[in-house]
Structures are given as structure tokens and as C-alpha cells.
Chains A and B, each alone.
Chain A
Amino acid sequence: MATVSIRDVRKAFGSTEVLHGVSVDVADGEFVILVGPSGCGKSTLLRMIAGLENITRGAIAIGERVVNNVAPKERDIAMVFQNYALYPHMTVRENMAFSLMLAKAPKEVIEAKVGRAADILGLAPYLARYPRQLSGGQRQRVAMGRAIVRDPQVFLFDEPLSNLDAKLRVQMRAEIKDLHQRLGTTTVYVTHDQIEAMTMADKIVVMNGGNVEQFGAPLELYDRPVNLFVAGFIGSPAMNFVRGQVEGEVFRSGAVALPLPPGLRGAAMAGRPVVYGIRPEHWRLDGQGIAATVQVVEPTGSETQVICTLSDARMLGETRMICAFRERITERPGQELRISPDPAVVHLFDEASGARLN
């Protein structure tokens, strides 16, 4: 096991720079997820850790060793690819044994390690099959088995679940997390799915356009996103954003006035264009707040999601507000609700820079 330290890493393909100085520190045994929209450079960063892309500038260290000029096979890592990359002409056993065989491990050792990995992953009955004779989930497991037998310092995963159907994805999510808890191997995992990131990670790196937006524990990112991008990216349904400015000790957008988060002095930022962020579940139904017109009511049993419009406020992006209440709602579309935010957990961002203000 080892730490992974990424120091101000840049990557250019020809003259286009796609990573603009990324720094991340992965502690020993930690499960870190790189998450961000498609094309933000997650795979590129992962492939640089694996040694499949060279590092234009900066340094990557695995353990104490800087690996910029170390060949992939010398880095003591294992990688699981998005399409699994199983060798189609080899059986499951041969697939898993391939790396050990190349390393000239003794036969008994190979047999034992493959057997152990197959037991962990429930692949024992399939060892003689070819990849094309397996289901998607089983192929996924073989790909992980291939990584496990090598007992590497670091596991790397590139969107390993994106080819599976929704139900299997949830199941494999739990299996991978369980596997990590059992083996304790340092893991870097790439996904574009923020739910995957939230549920699996010890730490999340939110990336956007080749930059790291925020690095922290899942709930830290959820509770205190450092900017508008992270606030909008993490959480489902997404955070609601209202545009306006601070006037006195309230936030005002059109005719709507909302309370500022505690500890913020309104005077310091009077008149500045800001964005007021509030998560769906932080609206309260108190019968006296601002007026919202109901558009759609979606009861799920445990909670009720209401999509509504604030006629007097300017929203950012979406024009509709999503609220999630523990209470059940009897109002019908077109009727009015009175809602108010929980000021202790609202967020305020600078509209120009997107940076968090409270």
C-alpha cells in the first residue's frame, strides 16, 4: 500500500493543455474518487498515474518514489478499464493469471492467488470460461480479479460501472466498496456520476475543465461547496440557485427577500450581485414564507418532491425550484405554497467569480 501524491500536474496534447496544474494527495489506504463532467480530464489524470500518458509538467509520486519516468509495469499498480479490457482469447483463469505468469511466479503461487481472488469475487465456477460467455457483471468482476491477484500498491478504476445496468451498478458499487474495506488498498476511482462518488468515496476530487474545484470528504463537499460549480454538481436533485443582491441584512431577488446565512455581515457586500443557494430538502413548509406556485408534485412515500416557481425571483439557469419535504402535500398544481429556507444551511456565492461567501 502507498500514498499517491500529485503535484501541480499539467498535461498538454500537442498545443492544447487539458490539465492546468492539478494537485491531489491520496493517503495510504484511502478511496479517492475523481468526479466531474465528461471531458474534464479525469481519465487523462488516471492514465498519467498509471503511466499510460506521460506527464507534461509537475510530478506524480507513488509511495516515496516519483514515477514520472517509470514504466507502467514498474509502478506496482493495477487498473480496471471502462470496457474491462479482458483478453478475449484467454479464459477467466488465464486472464487473471496473465500478470503473474509474465512475472514468472511459480505455478502453485499463481494457482493460489487466482483461487483466492476467484473466491473473493465469487468467480470460482467460471474460471474455465471465456469472457464472451460471461454477463456484464461477471466480466466486471474478472477485471477486478485481474487487479486483485497482483496485490498492487494502488488500484486505479476508470468508470468501471458505466457499462452496467442501473440495478447491477448499485450492487457492484457496494461490492467494490466492500472489497476496498477488506483489502485496504489505496484506490483512485474515476466516475462522472456524483452519486457513485458520494456513496463510495473517502475523499472526492471534483474536477472541471482541467482544474480541481474542490477536494474533500463527500459530506464536506455537500455541506460546504467552495463554489457554484461544486454546489451545482454535487447533490441530486441539484441545489437551487436564486440570483439577486444583498440589501441590508437580507438577500433580495425581485420582490423576494430571503434571510442571509448566520455570521454574514450584509453591509460588507451591499449591492454586489450574488447567488443564493439552497438544497431542496432545506426548504420548510411553515405557511408564512415566500409564495411558490406548485407545478408538479412527486410523492415518493418517504418524502415529497415539489417542483414550483417563484414568480417574483430570478433564478440561475433553471427557472423552477425543487423542494423536498418530509411532510405530505395536499396542494395541487397551480395552487400556492408558502415556503421559507432554513438559514443555517443556505449558501451564498459571488455571482462573478462563483466563490463561496459564507
Chain B
Amino acid sequence: MTDTTIDPAAVTESEGPQLLSWDSRARRIVTIYVPLVCFLIVLLFPFYWMAITAFKPNSELLNYKDNNPFWISAPTLDNIRKLLFETDYLHWLATTMGIAFGSTFLSLFASVLAAYAIQRLRFRGSDYVGLAIYAAYLVPPSILFIPLAQVVFQLGLYDTPFALVLTYPTFLVPFCTWLLIGYFKSIPYELEECALIDGASRLQILRRITLPLAVPGLISAGIFAFTLSWNEFIYALAFISSTEKKTVPVAILTELVQGDVYQWGSLMAGALLGSLPVAIFYMFFVEYYVSSLTGAVKE
């Protein structure tokens, strides 16, 4: 695998000129920090709201006249306890995790082969195949789930996790393929030609040259795929019916809203816990993720 340590020389080099142009401190505050803080507030507020609601006792939650709605006076773990011990939440979490990993793995495997073939083998009509894959991505899941339901029923997959593991790739593969095509394009073609002369076969080139160099791309495709499957709603709602097999987003909505009674505390606790795995994922790989979006393998 690639070496992830950052070359100190490269860092100082790329930061140097930018630092110079941001000469005055005041200007920096106005042009960078103030907009950044506004941006952060807007982005993080829903998350904050979710977090405090999860720890609020019901009395505070429902009476915002006597309590400050933006703060908790008597935090409680009641909501979380209820979520963990009175529902199948842990089971839902495990199911969602399994489905997300399964569909991400399948999608990445298929996408790597597809993207490599389209970008590097340049077979006749490869451009059109690329476009066709992209077109598939444009079909909205809210339409696609109807015919897919037929397929799922016919295959006897209804109400099994495989219904989701096998249908999520319908939108993950196009997405990952396009992301990887772009990434493969940034890897110099000469490297592969050189390996070809060195005696490598196509599969050896893919495994020993292209994939190690595309690790940042693979990781960001993986994170995307994982996040999308984790949060997916429509297919999970349509193809799963038993309570214990549901995924987190569907389950908290169908199981924690009884009639028109919203159990806000547990609902938010469920959402909060449900978003943690993805957040942890991002944290681990954020460096790769950014480097793959900003492009290019540097020597």
C-alpha cells in the first residue's frame, strides 16, 4: 500500500505563497474566519439540535416556555436507555452495518473492473458504455424500486438483507465507477506502459500499480458508497418488512413513531448513534478523501 506520510518539503512549499498573500491578520479574520464560522454554525446546528434533544428529558423537551430550548438543564440518559434496551436498536445497527459493508464491497469490486476497462483498455465503444452507466445513475430510485421489487420477489429475496445488498449497487456502481474513472485518469498512463514492458499482465498491472496508486480514490468511493447505503431509505422501506431486519433509518422512523406520537428523544438518540459510524469513518480517512477529490498522484 502507499506510504501515507506527508513529505514536509512539499507541505511548506505549497503553503508558502498562500501565507504570503494573506499578509494582514485583520484581513484574514474577515475573509477567512468570519465566513467559516457562519458556515459552521449553519452546518452544525441541526447536529447540535439532534444531540441536545437526545439527552433532554421529555418535560424540558415539550415545555420551551420555562426552559431554554437551546440548552439542557437536567440531562438524562433515559432516551438512550430506552432506545438500546426497549427496542431492537443494536440489531438494526448490526444489520445496517452488514448491508452497508456488503453492498460497498460488491460495488467497489464491480466498479474497479468497470472503471479500469473503460478508462484504460479503451475497447471499442468504451465511451458509450461509460455514458450508459452514467445514464443508469440518473434513474431515480423512487422510480426504480417498483421494477426492482418485482425482481426481488421473483428471486425470493423479499425481507432478507440480500434484497438490499444486491439492489444498492444499482446506484452505487455507477457512482463509484465514475469516481474511479476520474481517478484512474489521473494516474500517468506511462506507468502502466512501463509495467507492460516490464512484463506485467493486465491484472498484475491493476493489482500492483494502478490499485495501490488509486487507494485514495478507492477510499473515497468506499466512503461514499458506505454513506449512501447507510442512509438509504426507499429500498430499505420497500423490501424489508420484519421489524428485526430493518435498517436504522427506516426502523427509527417506523418503530419510534407510533401513530402520530413522536418519541423525539429516542428518535434523536437513534439518529445520533446512527450517524456515529459514518462520522468515525470520515475521521479516519479524511486525508485520503480530500486528496482524492483534489486530484492526482504526485510522484
Contacts and interface: CB of A to CB of B under 8 A. Distances in A.
Nearest to B2: A89
Question: Secondary structure of the B side of the interface?
Answer: helix
Interface stretch (B13-21, B194-202, B284-292): B194-202
Given A72-B197, A88-B299, A131-B299, A83 B3 contact: no
Given A52-B193, A73-B197, A79-B197, A87 B7 contact: no
Interface string B1-27: 111000100100000000000000000
B207 to A, nearest CB: 12
Given A86-B299, A102-B200, A130-B3, A79 B194 contact: yes
Interface residues of B, number: 24
B212 A103 contact: no
B261 to A, nearest CB: 56
Contacts of A102: 198-200, 204
Contact of B193 (A85, A103, A139): A85
A44 B294 CA distance: 32
B113 interface: no
A99 B177 CA distance: 30
B298 A132 contact: yes
Given A79-B194, A131-B299, A132-B298, A85 B188 contact: yes
B200 A85 contact: no
A98 B198 CA distance: 7
Interface string B154-165: 000000000000
Contacts of B200: 73, 98, 102
A148 to B, nearest CB: 13
Contact of B190 (A78, A85, A99): A85
A79 B195 CA distance: 10
Contacts of A81: 190, 193-194
B209 interface: yes
Given A50-B193, A85-B194, 11 more contacts: A52-B196, A73-B197, A73-B200, A79-B197, A85-B193, A98-B195, A98-B198, A98-B208, A102-B200, A132-B7, A133-B7
Interface pairs A-B: 7 shortest CB-CB: A99-B198, A85-B190, A73-B199, A85-B194, A102-B199, A89-B2, A72-B197
Interface of B: 1-3, 7, 10, 188, 190-191, 193-200, 204, 208-209, 212-213, 297-299
